[in-house]
Structure 1
Amino acid sequence: MILTSLAIDQQQFETRTGWAIKPQGACKGDSCIPLPAEIRNGDGSLNAPVLAQRLGMPLIHDADNNLWALGPETGITGRALTSAEAPQLVLPDLDGKPFDIASLRGQKVLLTTWASWCGCRADNPIWAELRERLHPKGLEIVTIAMDTAGADTARPWIEAGNPRHPALIDAGHIVGELFGVVNVPNGIWIDENGMIVRPPEPSWPGRTPVTEMELDDLEDWDTIDEVTQKHAEILREVKKMRFETDLYLQMLEDWVEKGAASQYVLSADEVIARSQPRSPALAEAAARFELGQHLHLNGNHAAAVTHWREAHRLQPLNWTYKRQAWSFEDASDLDANRVYEGNMLNDLKALGGENYYPKIEV
Structure 2
Amino acid sequence: MWQSIYEELKSENFEIISVAQDTGGEEAAGHIFDDANVSYTAIIDVNHQISSLYNLVNVPSGVWIDEDGKIMRINEGTYAKTHMDGAFGTDDYVPIVRDWVAKGADSEYVWDRSKVRASIVQRTPEAERAQPAFRLGGYYFTRDNDEKAEQYWTMAQELDPTSWNYLRQDLQYEEGGSAGPEWRARRDQVEGAGGNYYAPLEIENN
Q: Shared topology, TM-score over 0.5?
A: yes
Select the residue among 75, 87, 105 that pairs with 1:241: 87
Moved more, 297-306 or 186-195: 297-306
Structure 1 residue 296 corresponds to structure 2 residue 171: no
In structure 1, the residue corresponding to 2:16 is in which secondary structure? strand
Structure 1 residue 275 corresponds to structure 2 residue 116: no
- Would you say the 8 A contact 1:241–1:357 is kept in 2? no
Unmatched segments (≥5 aa) in structure 1 = 1-125, 212-238, 336-342
Structure 1 residue 176 corresponds to structure 2 residue 51: yes
Aligned to 1:186: 61
Aligned to 2:183: 344
- Would you say the 8 A contact 1:242–1:358 is kept in 2? no
Shift of the alpha carbon at 1:311? 1.1
In structure 1, the residue corresponding to 2:92 is in which secondary structure? helix
User: TM-score, normalization: structure 2?
Assistant: 0.88
> What is the rounded CA distance, in whole Å, between the counterparts of 2:35 and 2:118 in structure 1?
37
Amino acid at match of 1:349: D
Amino acid at match of 1:241: A
Shift of the alpha carbon at 1:355? 3.1
Aligned to 2:25: 150
> What is the rounded CA distance, in whole Å, between the counterparts of 1:357 and 1:279 in structure 2?
19
- Would you say the 8 A contact 2:20–2:45 is kept in 1? yes
Aligned to 1:310: 155
Q: 1:355 to 1:240 in 2, by over 3 A?
A: farther
Aligned to 2:101: 256
Aligned to 1:359: 200
Q: Equivalences for 1:107-122 in 2 at 5 Å?
A: none
- Would you say the 8 A contact 2:75–2:199 is kept in 1? no
Amino acid at match of 1:157: I
User: For residues 226-271 of structure 1, what are the alpha-carbon distances to aligned partners after superposition, in whole Å with 9 as ceiling and x for unaligned?
Assistant: xxxxxxxxxxxxx56242x232112211110110111222233432
> What is the rounded CA distance, in whole Å, between the counterparts of 2:161 and 2:86 in structure 1?
20
- Would you say the 8 A contact 1:241–1:355 is kept in 2? no
- Would you say the 8 A contact 1:148–1:171 is kept in 2? yes
Greater helix share, structure number: 2
User: For residues 26-73 of structure 1, what are the alpha-carbon distances to aligned partners after superposition, in whole Å with 9 as ceiling and x for unaligned?
Assistant: xxxxxxxxxxxxxxxxxxxxxxxxxxxxxxxxxxxxxxxxxxxxxxxx
In structure 2, the residue corresponding to 1:198 is in which secondary structure? strand
Identity of aligned residues (%): 33
- Would you say the 8 A contact 1:204–1:249 is kept in 2? no
Unmatched segments (≥5 aa) in structure 2 = none
> What is the rounded CA distance, in whole Å, between the counterparts of 1:275 and 1:358 in structure 2?
11
Q: Equivalences for 1:1-362 in 2 at 5 Å?
A: 126-205=1-80, 207=81, 210-211=83-84, 239=85, 241-243=87-89, 245-332=90-177, 333-335=179-181, 343-352=182-191, 355-362=196-203
Greater strand share, structure number: 1
Amino acid at match of 2:185: N
Aligned positions, number: 200
In structure 2, the residue corresponding to 1:154 is in which secondary structure? helix
- Would you say the 8 A contact 1:183–1:320 is kept in 2? yes
User: For residues 183-224 of structure 1, what are the alpha-carbon distances to aligned partners after superposition, in whole Å with 9 as ceiling and x for unaligned?
Assistant: 11111111001111112211133x25x34xxxxxxxxxxxxx
Shift of the alpha carbon at 1:291? 1.6
Larger Rg: 1
- Would you say the 8 A contact 2:130–2:159 is kept in 1? yes
> What is the rounded CA distance, in whole Å, between the counterparts of 2:32 and 2:106 in structure 1?
35
Amino acid at match of 1:351: V
User: TM-score, normalization: structure 1?
Assistant: 0.52
> What is the rounded CA distance, in whole Å, between the counterparts of 1:252 and 1:330 in structure 2?
37
Shift of the alpha carbon at 1:146? 0.8
> What is the rounded CA distance, in whole Å, between the counterparts of 2:190 and 2:5 in structure 1?
32
> What is the rounded CA distance, in whole Å, between the counterparts of 2:86 and 2:202 in structure 1?
19
> What is the rounded CA distance, in whole Å, between the counterparts of 1:330 and 1:266 in structure 2?
41
